[in-house]
Structure 1
Amino acid sequence: MSNGWDDSAEAWIADMGEHGDFTRRFVLDPVMVARVAGRGFATALDVGCGEGRFCRILRGHAIRPVGIDPTAALLQRARELDPEGDYRDGRAEQLPFGSGAFDLVVSYLTLIDIPDLDVAAAEMARVLRPGGTLLIANLSGFTTAAGERAHWVRDDAGRPLHFPVDRYLDERMYWADWRGIRIHNWHRPLGRYMAAFLAQGLILSVFAEPEPMAGADPATEERYRRAPYCYVMEWRKPG
């Protein structure tokens, strides 16, 4: 069964544009960029690189990234926007690289797309060099817990009242559907992610729930302050 990405690639490219959506541009990017800038990383792997936006950011910080993604249309767009970049077909569960190949591995809002979390976590840890860093941005389980119903409940005037949370502890796939995009997402509680990376012997060094940047759209900013949308984790491989 299709996971929706091939059919949704064109709408995804249009929705992301050059700078990404609100969550990326105004919530996650400030934290993610701060975690990679000026830290001496030479090589990086962006797992689920999509149209290559974060790879281009990494290159801007003198890091040599490789982007990997299973969706051909997204890789094509990445190569169009970044002809000198290195973009390859592949999946998180079977990374085509040797052990210890990268200083930095990035998973930027891709864990929710990966069916086999445990295998993917093992692969990300494997390709990290000893002492290397795994940097993760992910949707909060409170955001994904309602699955297809993960939208604000509003009053008759359209004002957001509350964000539903349901079946938080039940790991499951659901269809996420917005602005012409319809793809598989996976809901998992936070503890499930923590267990997967702890099982690889990785050490958690950073956990953050970013605030939206000041000056962003006020109504959207308010919603991001009322519900826990996403978090950033940094893990270190001992060595």
Structure 2
Amino acid sequence: MVDDGDFSRQHVLDQPMLDRVSALRPGTALDVGCGEGRFCRMLSKLDIATVGIDPVDAMVEAARSRDPEGDYQVAFAEHLPFANNSFDFVVSYLSLIDIDFLDEAVAEMARVLKPGGRLLVANLSSFSTSSAMIGKRYCRDTGEVLRPLGRYLTEEKSWFEWDGLRVQNWHRPLSTYMR
């Protein structure tokens, strides 16, 4: 399984995410959809008591093997196994696209936040996920990737293979995330 993260995480997203966290200075954090625990380990290095949840057993096992001292649990974002007001900070780092019941998941994230707590989300652009559903198209003259948007307003689930796992992703238009 991926340990260092893909290029986009390492060179585009990690630093802004860590900057936001550092500015908040939370004592406790929940990483929803933690995968192999990569961002949890980064938060732990900032002395933040972090819990990571993921619905995939293999991902939680990988997180535990990389960080035996970490707190990793198999759980769904739509049914978080924590009391109300448990965390200073909740992060969803490229995991909203993997969640079937978005409204329930966001409501659960809000429920476990302490008063004044913050939810930090990094998500794929809806423009990139709409074109992923119909495959890549290329400009005949330049070879550049075209991003057709014909299905942009349609919410759809797609499946792909990632690091030996079958993974689902949801395409949702930006308006869905903004309601």
Do these two structures clear the TM 0.5 threshold for a shared fold by scoring above it?
Answer: yes
- TM-score scaled to structure 2, two decimals? 0.92
The yes-or-no answer on 1:185 pairing with 2:148 is no
CA shift at 1:51, angstroms? Answer: 0.3
Match of 1:111 in 2: 96
- TM-score scaled to structure 1, two decimals? 0.70
Match of 2:7 in 1: 22
In 2, the alpha carbon distance for the partners of 1:185 and 1:161 equals: 21
Change in 2 beyond 3 A, CA 1:187/1:55: same
Match of 1:80 in 2: 65
Superposition pairs of residues 1-239 of structure 1, within 5 angstroms? 13=1, 16=2, 18-155=3-140, 159-177=143-161, 182-195=166-179
List gaps (5 residues or longer) in structure 1.
1-12, 196-239
Which structure would you say has the larger RCO, counting Cα contacts within 8 Å and 6 or more residues apart? Answer: 1
RMSD of the alignment, in Å? Answer: 1.8
Alpha-carbon displacement from aligned partner over 1:95-128 (angstroms, at most 9, x marks no partner): 0000010000000000000010110010000000
Change in 2 beyond 3 A, CA 1:92/1:166: same
In 2, the alpha carbon distance for the partners of 1:38 and 1:121 equals: 22
CA contact (8 A) 1:69 1:90 kept: yes
CA shift at 1:162, angstroms? Answer: 2.0
In 2, the alpha carbon distance for the partners of 1:147 and 1:106 equals: 24
Change in 2 beyond 3 A, CA 1:29/1:93: same
In 1, the alpha carbon distance for the partners of 2:174 and 2:141 equals: 33
CA contact (8 A) 1:147 1:176 kept: no
CA contact (8 A) 1:147 1:175 kept: no
Mean Cα deviation higher: 110-119 or 161-170: 161-170
The secondary structure found in structure 2 opposite 1:145 is: helix
Change in 2 beyond 3 A, CA 1:152/1:45: farther
Change in 2 beyond 3 A, CA 1:60/1:163: same
List gaps (5 residues or longer) in structure 2.
none
Mean Cα deviation higher: 102-111 or 141-150: 141-150
One-letter code of the match for 1:186? W
The secondary structure found in structure 2 opposite 1:76 is: helix
Q: Percent same amino acid at aligned positions?
A: 53
In 1, the alpha carbon distance for the partners of 2:167 and 2:85 equals: 32
One-letter code of the match for 2:39? F
Alpha-carbon displacement from aligned partner over 1:2-56 (angstroms, at most 9, x marks no partner): xxxxxxxxxxx1xx2x310011111111110111125320000000101000000
Change in 2 beyond 3 A, CA 1:131/1:145: same
One-letter code of the match for 1:23? S
CA shift at 1:161, angstroms? Answer: 4.2
CA contact (8 A) 1:148 1:177 kept: no
